[in-house]
Amino acid sequence: MTDLSALIDTDRHRLTDAAWLAAKHDELDAQGVVQMRGLLQPDALADLQNESAMGLNQAYFKPQSHNIYLDKGDETLPDSHIRNRRVTSSKGCITDDQIATGSVLKQIYHHTDFISALCIILEENALFPYADSLSSVNIHYARRGEELNWHFDNSSFAVTLMIQPATSGGAFEYVRDVRDANKDEMGFIHAEAVVDGSQPANQLSLDAGDLLLFRGRNSLHRVTPVEDDSTRQLAVLAYNSQPGISLCETAQMTFYGRMSGQKATV
């Protein structure tokens, strides 16, 4: 296995140092987000940007209408209620089976030192890839006018790596503690204020090579539309706390337009 320092700036991001990891764990608990700026070594970033650029013409784009809870909604409430209100997301993506085994992304994703560091920061006993062939490592693309609309994540954490930010638009925005999924508190009033823009959101500025750890289950978040001809490119590294889990088939069809085992047709 490649030494992690060939890929990651381990002088700055001390992923094998217990005290450093403990501080990041505390930061995530306190802020709901940890940003590791300039995580990648310059050569690794350049390779990743090439890999990503080559994937764009294979990406699956199909605008999706969804509610902010990413579920079926509640038919006892009106369509206009924030519980049911539809928003549209238009970004595209490529899937794990379209990303080379030896790529920078997969070397990092599967690296035992990287996974151990995530486990400590996220307070997980172990982390496993998805059992299906699509969901573990994805690259998301957003071109002019494309966006990822307001939503809460189903998973308790997300790991993203910025490959290439947009030069205009494409901003990551979030508001913490809008709902409490564990207590079934849906946060309707707060959520509606965020979606309508009367409650301002926080913005994070992500540069190429930055890693973001984010607790998105109770934080309402989105990526604003890209406003120029730059394409926002971002890797999502998805793990499970149990082995053998596949993304459900409905979600595979929605996000990827096909199911695990089916070849991409683009």
Ligand X SMILES: O=C(O)CCC(=O)C(=O)O
Q: Taking CB under 6 A as the rule, does residue 111 contact ligand X?
A: no
Tell me the sheet residues that pair with 159: 213, 237
Q: Which helix (H) or strand (E) holds 203?
A: strand 202-204
Please report, as residue ranges, which positions from 154 to 213 form the binding site for ligand X (by CB under 6 A). 158, 160, 172
Q: Taking CB under 6 A as the rule, does residue 223 contact ligand X?
A: yes
Cβ nearer to Fe ion, comparing 129 with 216: 216
CB of 184 to ligand X, least distance (A): 21
Q: Taking CB under 6 A as the rule, does residue 134 contact ligand X?
A: no
Rounded distance between C-alpha atoms, residue 190 and residue 171, angstroms: 21
Positive or negative, the CA dihedral 31, 209, 42, 237 is positive
Taking each helix axis as running N to C, give the angle between helix 18-31 and helix 112-122, from 0 to 180 degrees, rounded to the nearest 10: 50
User: Which one of residues 47, 153, 192, 227 is an interface residue with Fe ion (CB under 5 A)?
Assistant: 153
Given the rule CB under 6 A, which of 27-35, 80-88, 153-161, 188-196 is the region that contacts ligand X?
A: 153-161
Q: Residue 123: is it exposed, middle or buried by C-beta count within 10 angstroms (0-12/13-18/19+)?
A: exposed
Given the rule CB under 6 A, which of 29-37, 119-127, 215-223, 242-250 is the region that contacts ligand X?
A: 215-223
Closest to 247 (Cα-Cα) out of 136, 147, 107, 166: 136
Q: Please report, as ranges, the residues that interact with ligand X according to CB under 6 A.
A: 140, 148, 153, 158, 160, 172, 216, 221, 223, 234, 236
Q: Please report, as ranges, the residues that interact with Fe ion according to CB under 5 A.
A: 153, 216
